Amino acid sequence: MASIDSPSTSPNLALAAQAAILALPVTEERRMADCIRVLAMDAVEKAKSGHPGMPMGMADVATVLFTRFLKYDAADPRWADRDRFVLSAGHGSMLLYGLLHLTGHAGMEMEVLKNFRQLHSAAAGHPEYGEHPAIEMTTGPLGQGISTAVGMAMAERMLAARFGKSLVDHRTWVICSDGDLQEGISHEAAALAGHLGLDKLTVLWDDNHISIDGDTALSFSEDVLRRYQAYGWAVKRVDGHDHAQLAAAMAAATRSKKPTIIACRTIIGFAAPKKAGTAGSHGAPLGADEITGAKSALGWNAEPFTIPEGLKARWEEAGRRSAGTRRSWLKRLAKHPMRVEFERAMAGKLPENWAEGLNALRATFATEKPKIGSRIASQRSLGALVPAVPEMVGGSADLTGSNNTDVKGVPAIGPGNFNGRYVHWGVREHGMAAAMNGMALHGGIIPYGGTFLIFADYLRPALRLAALMHQRVIHVLTHDSIGLGEDGPTHQPVETIASLRAIPNLAVFRPADAMETAECWELALRRTEGPSVLALSRQALPALREDATENRSARGAYVLAEAEGARDVTLIATGSEVQLAIAARATLAEQGIQAAVVSFPCWEIFAQQDEAYRASVLGTAPRIGIEAGIGFGWERWTDAFVGMNGFGASAPAEKLFEHFGITAPALVTAAKSLLGQGPNTQGQSK
């Protein structure tokens, strides 16, 4: 038998190895794996689009996992104590759909598979969270799955620490590809998983030596397992088509005191007579000849999209494997003293009276009128919220003292110790954001995490996925403008807010003072349909509000200061620039120009308000915006804009506001110009 362990596989070598495997006696479990293979071939062929090679290569691995190890019950895919399974190599989506179909999951009938990659099909091109309850997350962008799984595994440990092993005791399994391991995000997440000792996390790596460009040796020659050992992981290497080897490695993983990665040496497109072991089987239909040849090689005689009854029955049995375990768990849950609290947290419902402390804080802000950075106001808000909302878990990408994300008396988790509610993520923004997604997806945790606003760029792909998956994750992004001062243009987010506002279903909050900060925290926590960003100032901001009765940020924008009499102009501002609008309003009034000031903490929410409310806020007078960022997107709301035209600079903050002309006098001048009363500096600044 030709070795499939050679570092680089020529197609011929792969075909020889394949022939040797196919010459072995066919077991029932091999046949079960073949079910996955033929469904993948058939569905991709019918769709004329998709990735057959990975499901064909990983069918044996998946079969061993789903028939012998994974704890799940097809009758209740949302069972809270199920094992989590993440298909990080999301392009191999037919592997997952095939498994869900075969194990008898409702909603993944054969008709659905026949509509693979068609509009409104639950069997979308890549697994999409929400399309089917057994899809744990949306995958496809490489590196996200494995990193999100780290967050799921963290959530499991933290909830087990809170609710006990009788309610929370499950594993997290990942199938990943070479590409997942090349992506930087997976490095961040794997390093953290090793650091924390997430022993219930197992990664099954599809070590197929093939990437889209060809042999992985073109670009990938590192010793992956040695690298994972360096992270503190247990490692194994197995023949990914040898069920006994696979079972032994998975069993060892369940006993390991460390997270485990198992390199499963596989042949991509296994069984295809010519394309097996080549990039040709990766991302396109195999074609009729190859499919005929593959089925013949497998000894498969059934029609397309047909699974012989005996095999289907055996698979459905596998889908019921843990049904008894689930029933026992339900009994334990029913009697558990923390049942109500567990169910509440897992359902994502906030505790009763969760807002009491925050409301008290708002009342304090109204009387105290603190002049503090909104990052400090955020910390005070957290001090009111975190004790009241036990599922809130905070953290920072090594900027705790700058992001002010910690709360006194709330301990951090650490290696082997999950009895805490704070995470020192390290300088790993992207891994943090993905793991936060995993915590939210797992359920039972509302994650918030901090870094500088500029580094939203580092975590953007994970944040986009949170928006796509409708997950409540909250990013506390401080140092939100040139107001951070001396650190200079690398740290000054001039276009970052605009770029975040562009992401669908992401709420970007930029509060103007302590009161609005508390209000925005309330809104972010209430927002169950997607992620939120709190863009917060480093510098102190004066209190602009004295009324605490109503959450005025709740409609996205509101008239903070109406004009005396009819409006001549409306000044619209966010965050640290609202104070400038208030000052400009006073100056304009002295000159006989009546200006209203609109505070605009959240565009996304305001855009969803009814037209009457929006009209009442925006008014009919000319409008001018001010924000210490670029004007991109402001044209939607205003006729003119005062802000940045490019990158920032290194200097003390107050010098920078002067230098870039983001001041109350500049706003006065621009407003007058807009009204035809000044030198011609009118119009959008770009």
Residue 166 or 499 with smaller CB distance to its own copies: 499
Residue 104 or 141 with smaller CB distance to its own copies: 141
CA 130, 135, 136, 141 dihedral sign is negative
The residue behind tokens 């009209």 is 615
In 3D, which of 12, 134, 24 has the Cα closest to residue 73? 134
DSSP string for 382-403: HHHHTTT-TTEEEEESS-HHHH
Q: Per rule CB under 8 A, is residue 186 in the interface with its own copies?
A: yes
Strands 214-215 and 234-239: unpaired
In 3D, which of 357, 414, 367, 415 has the Cα closest to residue 387? 357
Residue 14 or 459 with smaller CB distance to its own copies: 459
Q: Per rule CB under 8 A, is residue 218 in the interface with its own copies?
A: yes
Site string for its own copies, 491-520 (x = CB under 8 A): x--xx--xx-xxxxx---------------
Backbone dihedral region of 285: left (phi > 0), alpha (psi from -120 to 50 degrees) or beta?
Answer: beta
Indicate which residue of 29, 131, 429, 577 is catalytic: 429
Residue 414 or 622 with smaller CB distance to its own copies: 414
Element (H, E) at 35: helix 28-47
Structure tokens at 125: 């091109």
What residue type is 88 in one-letter code?
S
Which range, of 34-42, 211-219, 370-378, 384-392, touches its own copies by CB under 8 A?
A: 211-219
Phi and psi torsions of 109, nearest 5°: -70, 170
446 neighbors 477 (Cβ within 8 angstroms): no
Q: Per rule CB under 8 A, is residue 211 in the interface with its own copies?
A: yes
Backbone dihedral region of 592: left (phi > 0), alpha (psi from -120 to 50 degrees) or beta?
Answer: left
Q: Per rule CB under 8 A, is residue 90 in the interface with its own copies?
A: yes
Number of residues that bind its own copies (CB under 8 A): 111
Which range, of 16-24, 113-121, 537-545, 581-589, touches its own copies by CB under 8 A?
A: 113-121
Helix (H, G, I), strand (E, B) or coil at 597: strand
Residue 104 or 280 with smaller CB distance to its own copies: 280
Site string for its own copies, 267-286 (x = CB under 8 A): --------------------
Pairwise CA distance, residues 56 & 54, whole Å: 5
CB atoms within 10 A of CB 470: 15
What residue type is 290 in one-letter code?
E
644 neighbors 630 (Cβ within 8 angstroms): yes
Residues within window 553-612 making contact with its own copies, judged by CB under 8 A: 607
Q: How many residues does the chain have?
A: 686
Considering only residues 85, 97, 418, 425, which one is a binding residue for its own copies as defined by CB under 8 A? 425
Q: Per rule CB under 8 A, is residue 487 in the interface with its own copies?
A: yes
Cβ 462 to its own copies shortest distance, Å: 9
CA 510, 514, 519, 524 dihedral sign is positive
Residues within window 118-147 making contact with its own copies, judged by CB under 8 A: 118-121, 124-126, 128, 138-143
Pairwise CA distance, residues 632 & 582, whole Å: 23
The residue behind tokens 């920078």 is 656
Cβ 75 to its own copies shortest distance, Å: 27
Q: Per rule CB under 8 A, is residue 229 in the interface with its own copies?
A: yes
Considering only residues 7, 23, 25, 213, which one is a binding residue for its own copies as defined by CB under 8 A? 213
Q: Per rule CB under 8 A, is residue 179 in the interface with its own copies?
A: yes
Pairwise CA distance, residues 611 & 515, whole Å: 26
393 neighbors 439 (Cβ within 8 angstroms): yes
Residue 57 or 145 with smaller CB distance to its own copies: 145
Cβ 214 to its own copies shortest distance, Å: 8
Cβ 216 to its own copies shortest distance, Å: 8
Considering only residues 400, 587, 594, 673, which one is a binding residue for its own copies as defined by CB under 8 A? 400
513 neighbors 552 (Cβ within 8 angstroms): no
Residue 323 or 412 with smaller CB distance to its own copies: 412
Q: Per rule CB under 8 A, is residue 399 in the interface with its own copies?
A: yes
CB atoms within 10 A of CB 414: 15
Residue 126 or 241 with smaller CB distance to its own copies: 126
Considering only residues 85, 606, 632, 657, which one is a binding residue for its own copies as defined by CB under 8 A? 632
658 has catalytic annotation: no
Cβ 116 to its own copies shortest distance, Å: 9
Considering only residues 468, 605, 674, 675, which one is a binding residue for its own copies as defined by CB under 8 A? 468
Residue 402 or 681 with smaller CB distance to its own copies: 402
Which segments of 241-350 are extended strands (E)? 260-265
Q: Per rule CB under 8 A, is residue 424 in the interface with its own copies?
A: yes
Considering only residues 541, 581, 595, 630, which one is a binding residue for its own copies as defined by CB under 8 A? 630
The residue behind tokens 């390199």 is 263
Site string for its own copies, 428-467 (x = CB under 8 A): xxxx----------------------xx-xx-xx--xx-x
Cβ 606 to its own copies shortest distance, Å: 11
Residues within window 24-83 making contact with its own copies, judged by CB under 8 A: 47, 49-50
Q: Per rule CB under 8 A, is residue 633 in the interface with its own copies?
A: yes
Cβ 239 to its own copies shortest distance, Å: 22
Which segments of 128-233 are extended strands (E)? 172-177, 201-207, 210-211, 214-215
Considering only residues 23, 25, 78, 226, which one is a binding residue for its own copies as defined by CB under 8 A? 226
Residue 1 or 427 with smaller CB distance to its own copies: 427
What residue type is 83 in one-letter code?
D
Cβ 161 to its own copies shortest distance, Å: 18
Going by C-beta distance under 8 Å and a sequence separation of 6 or more, which residues neighbour residue 124? Answer: 93, 117, 131
Residues within window 639-678 making contact with its own copies, judged by CB under 8 A: 645-647, 649-652, 655-656, 659
Residues within window 403-422 making contact with its own copies, judged by CB under 8 A: 412, 414-415
Pairwise CA distance, residues 611 & 601, whole Å: 18
What residue type is 4 in one-letter code?
I
Structure tokens at 496: 């970052």
Pairwise CA distance, residues 278 & 21, whole Å: 17
Cβ 249 to its own copies shortest distance, Å: 20
Which range, of 219-227, 285-293, 568-576, 666-674, touches its own copies by CB under 8 A?
A: 219-227
Cβ 492 to its own copies shortest distance, Å: 10
Cβ 150 to its own copies shortest distance, Å: 13
Helix (H, G, I), strand (E, B) or coil at 84: strand
Site string for its own copies, 379-398 (x = CB under 8 A): -----------------x-x
166 neighbors 78 (Cβ within 8 angstroms): no
Considering only residues 74, 95, 176, 185, which one is a binding residue for its own copies as defined by CB under 8 A? 185
Pairwise CA distance, residues 395 & 406, whole Å: 7
Cβ 132 to its own copies shortest distance, Å: 13
Considering only residues 188, 206, 239, 568, which one is a binding residue for its own copies as defined by CB under 8 A? 188
Cβ 406 to its own copies shortest distance, Å: 9
**Dmax of the chain from CA atoms?**
94
In 3D, which of 155, 125, 121, 153 has the Cα closest to residue 140? 125
Catalytic (active-site) positions:
429
